[in-house]
Chains A and B, each alone.
Chain A
Amino acid sequence: MNALALLLVMELGDRFALMGVVLGVLLTAVAYTVYAERRIAAFIQNRTGPDRVGFDLIPQLKFLKGAIGLGQPLADVIKLLMKEDVVPENANKFVHALAPLISLFAALTTIAVVPYAKGVAIADVNIGILYILAITSLGVYGITLSGWASNSKYSLLGGLRSSAQMISYELSMGLAVVSVVVLTNALNMGEIVESQTSNPLNWNVCRNLLGFIIFTTAAFAETNRAPFDLPEAEQELVGGYHTEYSSMKFALFFLAEYANMIVACTVIVTLFLGGYQVPFWTDAPWFVQVGAFITKTLFMMFVFIWVRWTLPRFKYNQLMDLGWKFMLPLGLFNLLIVASTIVIFGNSLPLSILNLVLVALCVAGSFAAKPQSKMA
């Protein structure tokens, strides 16, 4: 079936059905992202990782037993559900219970405007990209309020750190988004993907490499992932904002964190990696487009995990310096370059060429340079 036909029949009921499918896939994906994270971390650190739990109770799935541990997420979820739910005595009970829900709400609602194939999105709104910026800014509340409501110093400090971090990096994120809007001349997520065409040279990662780097870095900070995971710096803050959370409420924060990561990946894919566009195949059938979208998202998720287990954590002053003194000016500079190229040349071809040359220079430089020179 053609994707365009699917678009025509997308009524309210279909959108609800799509929402159910997407949420189901997303929540399952969260469980297996945790598993993937542990396995990849183990691989990077030369360990084995979780490899015991299989599905031994189901005879047909016995071959999955051992070695790869695919049953681990299920076991983890059951463990979290069975745990005792402790609420600190002096906590603000209502806000304490509501904060994880806000976190999860912000994480799950963002995905509504992301197109999965041509014309297939839960909500194909005109101002999709602004909607994403708006909902991301809601995520701060879950963390700030959980820190405050726990009535614990560790939680409060973790919550404050985290919200300061999110607010700081939202600006550079916004500037990167503006440069994408200038390039694609659209606010609608579907149109942003359409304007990138099926030629990878037209994808925004080629046209707007600097914007891609800024947005991805800001997304690391927004999702509180390493190297920006100061809010939950174990050595200093115990567990950060979720120190006082246990059982299912903790699981909700966990869920929100990983859902945030997946959603951030889908947004990066949509804005910079051509979304559902299949390389060199215009008007691919919808299932190929969905496949391309999922593949790109999985790749970005791998990058997220890879970075987490490669780079050490920033200090707080380094984090703020990077955000305000480096990323923000860089974002403005990038916007200036993109906008002036569009105005002077009328298209973005010079940008692609410039970026390709820069990447080639960087690759050549990294091969030519001695390993010690990276320390500078």
Chain B
Amino acid sequence: MNSLAYQIIFYLFAAIIVGSAALVVISKNIIHSAFGLLFTFFGVAAIYVYLNADFIAVTQIVVYVGGILVLLLFGVMLTNKITQADLKTETLNPVPGLLITLSVLAMLLYTFYFRAKWVTVPVDQQLRGTVVEPIGIATMTTYVLPFEIVSIVLMVALLGAAYIARADRKVQTKEGK
């Protein structure tokens, strides 16, 4: 009974991902697209939970849903005319597009069925407990250099954004004091 319930929940989330991803692409309203993306991220997080990657699932929500998508929505809402603009969603070049889509699909299916080396771990060897500790240790020892480089890249991006955004705001900040 339990495995059936879990399967139903899995397919529910799979349907949410596919449906909302379709909304992102098809919708003519940019807010609706951003909104669809919210549910896509959320569903993907649920799939991570099914893969026993709870930390990645939560990070997905904290970073993408709680951070990036909020910023995206802010950007869209504060930019006056974007919300009213119709996005172009009609089909262009149907035949070449269909060909490319089908060939990519065929490649993916071929890889999944014949080339991929799926790892199946017996139940008793599966990852138990929290994965946060191994992730933290690996980040701080083996992968400390990439970790630091990423943080420097983010720092530079932040400084650049702050520089661009504050360039002509000097009068206002004085007023705020």
Partner of B54, one of A126, A163, A167: A126
A95 at the binding interface (Cβ < 8 Å): yes
Residues of B within 8 A of A188 (CB): 130
A137 at the binding interface (Cβ < 8 Å): yes
A335 at the binding interface (Cβ < 8 Å): no
A138 touches B5 (CB 8 A): no
Q: Which residue of B lies closest to A131 (CB)?
A: B58
* Stretch of A140-148, A214-222, A227-235 lying at the B interface: A140-148
In the complex, how many angstroms separate the beta carbon of A295 from the nearest chain B beta carbon? 30
B31 at the binding interface (Cβ < 8 Å): yes
With A and B bound together, what is the CA distance between A11 and B3 in angstroms?
12
A294 at the binding interface (Cβ < 8 Å): no
Within 8 A of A (CB), among B26-75: 31-32, 35, 38, 54-55, 58-59, 61-62, 65-67, 70, 73-74
B22 at the binding interface (Cβ < 8 Å): no
With A and B bound together, what is the CA distance between A144 and B36 in angstroms?
15
Question: Chain A, 154-174, contact with B by CB distance < 8 Å: what is the 0/1 string?
Answer: 001000100100010010000
In the complex, how many angstroms separate the beta carbon of A222 from the nearest chain B beta carbon? 12
In the complex, how many angstroms separate the beta carbon of A335 from the nearest chain B beta carbon? 15
A12 touches B62 (CB 8 A): no
Residues of A within 8 A of B2 (CB): 11-12
A127 touches B54 (CB 8 A): yes
Of listed B32, B66, B130, B132, residue having the most chain A CB within 10 A: B66
A127 touches B65 (CB 8 A): no
Interface of A is mostly: helix
B176 at the binding interface (Cβ < 8 Å): yes
Residues of B within 8 A of A167 (CB): 70
Question: Chain B, 122-134, contact with A by CB distance < 8 Å: what is the 0/1 string?
Answer: 0000000110100
B74 touches A163 (CB 8 A): yes
B102 at the binding interface (Cβ < 8 Å): no
With A and B bound together, what is the CA distance between A140 and B66 in angstroms?
8
In the complex, how many angstroms separate the beta carbon of A124 from the nearest chain B beta carbon? 12
Partner of B66, one of A92, A126, A170: A170
For this complex, 13 residue pairs linking A to B, each with C-beta atoms less than 8 Å apart, are A94-B32, A130-B58, A133-B62, A133-B66, A137-B70, A141-B73, A144-B77, A145-B35, A148-B73, A163-B70, A163-B74, A187-B130, A187-B132
- A residues neighboring B (CB under 8 Å): 11-12, 92, 94-95, 125-127, 130-131, 133-135, 137-138, 140-141, 144-145, 148, 156, 160, 163, 167, 170, 187-188, 317
- B residues neighboring A (CB under 8 Å): 2, 5, 31-32, 35, 38, 54-55, 58-59, 61-62, 65-67, 70, 73-74, 77-78, 83, 129-130, 132, 176
* 6 nearest A-B residue pairs (beta carbon): A137-B66, A134-B61, A126-B130, A130-B58, A134-B58, A134-B62
